[in-house]
């Protein structure tokens, strides 16, 4: 049985950039090349600034705060994967915190390499291949509820 995660927010926000999508913007194309990825390695949701961002599953916070082009991000280690929540306005958890599904972990923003407010959400399975073209990340939509 495939593990399931809950959405990282309450409400209905559109996917604005899908996993594997190609960059059409020249600056983003350069970043994809710099990062060594062949396509987008997460899902972007069109969350307005200040939207509550929630843990998608139980786990332990292994990264919280400034994280390069991700701006402010939070990474949670779950039993079967890691989830990352990027471009936050602020993190509301600290490294070492244990969180439950649905716990507030931060507020969405537009920090880092972005063109506007959104949440970049990604997952990396425990047995991830770091040479898969997406730095080991996989399509989170497989594990999230959706229509």
Asked if residue 8 is part of any domain, the answer here is no
Give CA–CA dist 2/4, Å, rounded: 6
- The Cα 123–Cα 32 span in angstroms is 18
- DSSP H or E segment with residue 120: strand 119-125
The answer to whether the CB of 144 falls within 8 A of the CB of 127 is no
| Domain hosting residue 89, numbered range | 15-31+38-143
Which of these is catalytic: 41, 78, 118, 120? 118
Is 66 among the domain residues?
A: yes
Is 146 in the active site? no
Tally the domains of the chain.
Answer: 1
CATH number at residue 49: 2.70.70.10
In a domain, residue 42? The reply is yes
Asked if residue 3 is part of any domain, the answer here is no
Structural domain includes residue 4: no
- pLDDT per residue of the chain (147 residues) written in tens, 0 to 9: 678 899 999 999 999 999 999 988 898 899 899 999 999 999 999 999 999 999 999 999 999 999 999 999 999 999 999 999 999 999 999 999 999 999 999 999 999 999 899 999 999 999 999 999 999 999 999 999 875
Task: Establish if 6 belongs to a structural domain.
Answer: no
pTM for this prediction: 0.94
Residue 10 lies in a domain: no
């Amino acid at each position: 049985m495939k593990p399931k995660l809950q959405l990282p927010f309450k409400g209905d926000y559109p996917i604005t950039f899908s996993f594997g999508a190609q960059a059409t913007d020249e600056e983003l194309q350069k970043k994809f090349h710099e990062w060594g990825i062949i396509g987008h390695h997460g899902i972007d949701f069109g969350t307005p600034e200040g939207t509550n961002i929630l843990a998608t599953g139980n786990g332990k916070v292994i990264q919280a705060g400034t994280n390069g082009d991700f701006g402010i991000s939070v990474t949670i280690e779950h039993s079967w994967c890691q989830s990352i929540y990027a471009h936050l306005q602020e993190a509301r958890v600290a490294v070492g915190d244990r969180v439950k599904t649905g716990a507030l972990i931060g507020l969405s923003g537009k920090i880092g390499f972005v063109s506007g407010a959104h949440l970049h959400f990604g997952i990396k399975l425990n047995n991830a291949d770091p040479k898969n073209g997406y730095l080991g990340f996989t399509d989170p939509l497989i594990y999230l509820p959706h229509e």
